[in-house]
Each structure stands twice: as structure tokens, then as C-alpha cells.
Structure 1
């Protein structure tokens, strides 16, 4: 049989991942079987198993692929020098999350909650997420350092602590979007802006 091109292999791999994301959202990680994913992908069992020999490998690939795609969306915001002011930065980052995660037949924000839960028992998955979120937090600390230098934060602000708070806000945005649904990037930006102004007003 002739070999398929790298482009076709990438498209077929994505076809399987799309099927997995749909099944995971509708049935959950543990209730979904490889047969469910095979049926949803409309590919043969042999084709699916040639890319992903087990459901665990498929879950890991689904998380790695989604985090990699999100990193690409966030990179222009994180790389901007100087970075946007805090509230604008948060709004742009949250908008990037929304645009990347909202798909026609599933939402990666809802799937993120499943991934976070699975990471508590799957060490490989936990390491993958830890590397991504730790790296993101480091970039947030860099942005906070720039804000401090530019006088946008209190003089005694700790950039690492600001980064931890912003990461908590971003992860909370994902959770609220998935569970409650009545939050959007502008809401998050206004809240962050209000908190920063409140702390500035309290400064001695």
C-alpha cells in the first residue's frame, strides 16, 4: 500500500482527536471506550489503533494537543513588549481561551475540567499540565515585572505572587465558563482592574 503523506497523517490524527473530544464531553473520560471513539471517527479500528494504541495514550495526546494549540494562541500576548496593561492583558488572554476552546460540537473548557480531574490519578498527564501551567505562570510573572517597572502595580508588589493570582483568575475563568456560563473576558478584565485600583487606593 502506498504511504500516506505527512499532511494526511496529521489530518487523520486530528480526525481521531476530534472524535475523542466529542465522546469525552458527551460521556466522560472513563465511560468513553475506544469503540465509541472509533465509531465517532468513522475510521477503522486498525487506523485508530495505529495512531493511539490505548485510551490512555489518546487522552494524553488530546490534552497535549489542546495545550499546545492554546500556547500558540497566547504567545503573541505573552511576547508583547511592553505587555498590555493588566486588565487589557487578562481580557486578551481570556478572549484567546474562548476563541480556541469553543468548537462546533464540543467545548475544550468543559473538557479541561475532566482533564484536571484525570490528572490527579495519571502522573504523566499531571506532569504535562504542570509543565504547561508552570511555564505560563513564569510568563505572567515576567509581565507583572514589566507592570511594576511601569508603575502599573504597587511598588511593593511581588511579580511571582501577582502571577499566581492571575493564573488562578484564568483557571477560574475556565471553570466558571464551563460550570456557570455567565462570565466573559470583559467581566474578568473589569474585575482585575477594580482589584488593582482598590489596592492602589489603599497604598500608603
Structure 2
């Protein structure tokens, strides 16, 4: 029997994940059955279960990828030296997540993908496994963003006496908030987020106090 190449195995796994993501984005996690996934991807149960033990396994894999994309987008956006300001940084992150190339790779339109991410977040409230997966990913993301805030301080562009972690959590929350808003309403692109942050950053805090 011919040996199956790793490239073939990876492509089959990708096919299953993409099909499951389309099902979940369209009908939600709980309304989607494994039979729905099998029909979507056009594979036998044996072929799918070779890669994933069931729906929860699929959801966990999709969740891990979603967080991974956020982290990769951030790491690419933060490679500049000095690091980009928050408006530019977060704008790059969301553009990477929801740009034309990302839409092509995921096989979902931008709003559907944002909705899938929000579904993943809400599912953590009932799934200990998913909560553990996302919790670990979030911790890594928080540490990375805190390091970036430290670079702001080193470069002299951040003077407020606020812990790096507090600012990192706020940056992450801003990105999360945009994803949620986009999933629910779909009426504002990354440029709204960039301009809004730029406007807030221009405030004269001495006058405000």
C-alpha cells in the first residue's frame, strides 16, 4: 500500500476544519451535527474520525486556530522598530484577520468569520476543555502584548505610570470588542477602529484633568 504523504494528510485535515467552520458559522455549534459536517466535506465518517474524535474536538481545533491567527497577526504587526502606535498596530491586526487574503484562506466571508470567533468565546462558558485551551492561548497573547507595551516605554512614547499588563489587557479588549461589534453589526471596518483610537490618543490629558 502506498504511503500517504504528510502533505496529503495536512490537506485532508484542512478540508475537514474548513468544512466544519462553514457549518458552525452558518448554523452554530449546537445546531450542527457530525452528520452535517460529513455532508459538508463529502467524506466518510471513518475519514473524518481519523483526524477528529468528534464535534468538541473540531470546535477546540477551530478555537486554537482562531486565537493563533490573532497572535500571528499581532506578531507580524509588531515587528517594526520602533513598534507601531496602538492605532496602527491594532488596525494591522484586524486587517490581517479580516483582509481579502484571510477571507480567501478561510472560505468564509469576513463577518461570518468574526461571528465564528465570537461563538468560540461564548462556548468557553460551558466547555472546560475549550476554556483551558483559550486560557492558555490568551496568557501567551497577554505576555506578548505586555512586552510590546514595555517597548513603548523604552522608546519614550509611553509616560503614564500604568502597569504594562493593564495596558496590554486594554489593547486586547479593544481588538476583541471590534471583532464582536463587526460580527453583530458588520457596519464598520478597521479604518473606524484606527481613526477612533487615533482620536482618543490625541486627547490633551492635562486639560481633561
* Whole-Å separation in 2 of the counterparts to 1:154 and 1:29: 45
Query: Deviation at 1:120?
Result: 0.7
Report the CA distance between 1:10 and its aligned residue. 0.4
How far is the alpha carbon of 1:43 from its aligned partner? 0.9
Are 1:67 and 1:132, in contact at CA under 8 Å, matched by a contact in 2? yes
* Equivalent residue, structure 2, for 1:20: 20
Q: How far off is 1:196 after superposition?
A: 2.1
1:7 aligns with 2:7: yes
The corresponding residue for 1:183 is 188
* Residues 117, 155 of structure 1: alpha-carbon distance in 2 compared, 3 angstrom cutoff: closer
Q: Helix, strand or coil: the match of 1:198?
A: coil
Structure 2: where are the runs of 5+ without partners? Answer: none
Contact residue 86 and residue 147 of structure 1 kept, 8 A: no
- Partners in 1 of 2:204 and 2:137 — Cα distance? 29
Aligned residue number for residue 143 of structure 1: 148
Tell which deviates more after alignment, 125-134 or 10-19: 125-134
Residue matched to 1:122: 127
Distance 1:156 1:66 in 2: 33
How far the C-alpha of 1:202 sits from its partner, in A, is 4.1
Secondary structure at 1:53's aligned position in 2? coil
Distance in 2 separating the partners of 1:114 and 1:155: 36
In structure 2, the residue matched to 1:32 is 32
Q: Count matched residues.
A: 204
Which 10-residue stretch deviates more, 133-142 or 161-170?
A: 133-142
Q: Offset at 1:177?
A: 0.8
2:197 is aligned with 1:192: yes
1:151–1:202 CA distance, 2 compared to 1 (3 A): farther
Change (3 A) 1:69 1:7: farther
CA distance in 2: counterparts of 1:118 and 1:152, whole angstroms:
38
From the superposition, tell whether residues 142 and 105 of structure 1 become closer, same or farther in structure 2 (CA, over 3 Å).
Answer: closer
TM-score, with structure 1 as normaliser: 0.90
Answer with 83-92 or 169-178: which moved more. 83-92
- Which residue pairs with 1:73 in the alignment? 73
Segments of 5+ residues of structure 1 without an aligned counterpart are none
Q: In structure 2, how many angstroms separate the alpha carbons of the residues matched to 1:71 and 1:147?
A: 19
Deviation of the 1:108 alpha carbon: 2.2
55-64 or 33-42: bigger deviation: 55-64
Q: In structure 1, what is the equivalent of residue 50 of structure 2?
A: 50
